[in-house]
Amino acid sequence: MTTARTNFRGWAAARRKALSTLRFTSLRLRLVVVFGLVALTAAVSASGIAYWLNREAVLTRTQDAVLRDFEQEMENRAGALPAHPSQDELQRTAGQMAASSQRFSVLLVARNADGRTVYGSSGGLNDGFALADVPESLRAAVNKEQPLAANNTSPYHLYWQRIVDDGTPYLVAGTRVIGGGPTGYLLKSLEPEAKDLNSLAWSLGIATALALIGSALLAQAAATTVLKPVHRLGVAARRLGEGELDTRLRVSGTDELAELSRTFNKAAEALEKRVADMAARDEASRRFVADMSHELRTPLTAITAVTEVLEEELDSAGGGLDPMIEPAVRLVVSETRRLNDLVENLMEVTRFDAGTARLVLDDVDVADQITACIDARAWLDAVQLDAARGIHARLDPRRLDVILANLIGNALKHGGSPVRVAVREEDSEVVIQVRDHGPGIPEDVLPHVFDRFYKASASRPRSEGSGLGLSIALENAHIHGGDITAANSAEGGAVFTLRLPRDASDVVRAAEEQHAQTPEKGDA
């Protein structure tokens, strides 16, 4: 059963490949079609001209020989008849005339001594060549007496016509004996010539078909010659787009395709150098941020300790600080906290960039986790929670708290109260929506709300944040295998939708496997 399924899949894949190769948008097929049409047009034109020329030559040659023989027989035999022959004499003479080398049927018409019209036929069409078998127009032309002139010394002439009866072509001709005598008609079958012409037509048709097949093969060969470099260029461009910046094409020849390959190689080399420079600068900037964050931790710890002492002095009942410097002390305490948050955010960003951020999973009641996040930051009066107890998920509680704190804090700071947090279950996901009642997010800002250090002055006239909160929230969602989207509600306000898996164990397991394989790849 498995073998049959594998064979069927292989056949289906081959069929899809063949159809994709033969689709009309394919350059190969278009080249073959164009070559075929050109060859077909040329072959049909040449065959048609050759057939027409040969047809005229064959028919004219046969016709001239028959008419010349008939004219000679009329002069020698019919001209020897008396002025008023009998039917027997006409019959005998017609038979003698028909026995000539051209083998045609003869009909003689004359008046006997009694003035009656008599006929003599050698046999032929419909068991006898009769006058009715001669076209009326031909009879009229034969019997019409022409006026004599310097260029016309004979009152009667030889006339001929081609007819078709029951699918067989015939030559019919007639003339009168000059000086008085019978009128003679001939009937000659052109069937042998028609068969020869049919054979010629078949030969030309076969030649046309062979020319068409040959042109298709030549087009295929030409297309292969042209498209192979194009295909290699496409593969190289695809590999380049996938990040293999060391991709290069082998160049041979001096034609346009070779020049295109050289241009691609130069562009790939320039791109590789540019990307390497940008990667080096990016790595240097990340290293600077990481080093700066670490370096700031030590003095910031000392500063934080001092500000805590100053804050205790501010809150003490004795009021140990001079009232003149109390605003400055409070400003220092506030800014120190902001600096602490900024350094912690920078440290978190460097962990994500270095790939060292890890999940510590635990069974979490989502509603309890949201309540704890809101309660710890004294947001209970400004936030409405719509979440039923009992929605459990296996997540990292600390990182979930960071996500919730950033989303809810962002809604409170830049949106409008009340902020509503709703939780629901969808299949194997937990969906958390944070909606505010503010002016919403401008359409030109929406694509950038999760960018690092991005601030939109139009929607955030005063922002004390670092521009990293939503970016860190999104990274924490991604490390869980989830996502965050931002949109504007139809009823007003912004809506942030967080989607997390019910169980992130598979994500943690995959990350651990990848981390375990990384040193092996480096050693190889």
Q: What is the pLDDT of residues 431-486, one digit of tens each?
A: 999 999 888 888 888 888 888 777 655 444 444 556 778 888 888 898 888 999 99
Q: What is the mean pLDDT of residues 297-326?
A: 71
Task: Grade residue 22 by pLDDT with cuts at 50, 70 and 90.
Answer: very low
Highest mean pLDDT among 249-253, 409-413, 461-465, 517-521 belongs to 409-413
Buried b (16+ CB within 10 A) or exposed e, 355-387: eebebebeebebbebbbebbeebebeeebeeeb
Q: Look up residue 422 and give its two tokens.
A: 């709703």
Which has more confidence, 280 or 17? 280
Neighbours of 439 (CB within 10 A): 15
- Global confidence as pTM: 0.48
Which tens digits make up the pLDDT trace of 165-224? 888 888 899 888 876 778 888 888 888 887 887 888 888 888 888 887 877 787 777 777
Q: Of 81-95, 282-296, 447-461, give the range with the top mean pLDDT.
A: 81-95
Confidence (pLDDT) at 229:
79
Burial of 130 (0-12, 13-18, 19+ CB in 10 A): middle
Report cis status (omega within 30 of 0) of the bond before 229.
no
Ranking 110-124, 255-269, 275-289, 343-357 by mean pLDDT, the lowest is: 343-357
Of 187, 160, 184, which is closest to residue 110 (Cα–Cα)? Answer: 184
Name the more confident of 218 and 365. 365
Phi first, then psi: give them for residue 10, nearest 5 degrees.
Answer: -65, -40
Q: Tell me what percent of the residues of the chain surpass a pLDDT of 70.
A: 84
How many angstroms separate the CA atoms of 290 and 477, rounded? Answer: 22
For residues 178 and 400, which has the higher predicted lDDT (pLDDT)?
400
- pLDDT at position 501: 92
- What is the distance, to the nearest Å, from the Cα of residue 523 to the centroid of all Cα atoms in its chain? 43
Of 112-121, 267-276, 390-399, which range is least confident?
112-121
Residues 306-329, mean pLDDT to the nearest whole number? 70
Summarize the confidence of residues 370-394 as an average pLDDT.
88
Helix axes 397-414 and 366-376, enclosed angle (nearest 10): 60
474 and 454 in contact (C-beta within 8 Å)? no
Nearest-10 Cα torsion for 439, 444, 450, 455: -70
| CA geometry: angle 81, 84, 90, nearest 5 deg | 50
Q: Which of 188-192, 254-258, 419-423 has the highest average model confidence (pLDDT)?
A: 419-423
Q: How confident is the model at residue 321 (pLDDT cuts 50, 70, 90)?
A: low
How many CB atoms lie under 10 A from the CB of residue 145?
Answer: 9
DSSP annotation of 448 reads G
pLDDT surpasses 80 at 161: yes
8 A C-beta contact, residue 408 and residue 400: no
What does the alpha-carbon distance between residue 7 and residue 143 come to, in Å, rounded to a whole number? 83
- Per-residue pLDDT, 458: 45
At 435 the pLDDT is 92
Rounded-to-integer distance, Cα 438 and Cα 416, Å? 4
Q: What is the mean pLDDT of the chain?
A: 79
- Contacts made by residues 251-259, CB under 8 angstroms, sequence distance 24+: 257/226, 257/229, 257/230, 258/229
Q: Which residue has the higher pLDDT, 127 or 481?
A: 481
CA-wise closest residue to 93 among 70, 117, 125: 70
* pLDDT band at residue 109 using 50, 70 and 90 as cut-offs: confident
The pLDDT of residue 213: 82
For residue 104, report the phi and psi dihedrals to the nearest 5 degrees.
-125, 160
Per-position b or e across 49-83, b if 16+ CB within 10 A of its CB: eebeeebeebbeebbeebbebbeebbeebbeebee
Q: How many residues does the chain have?
A: 524
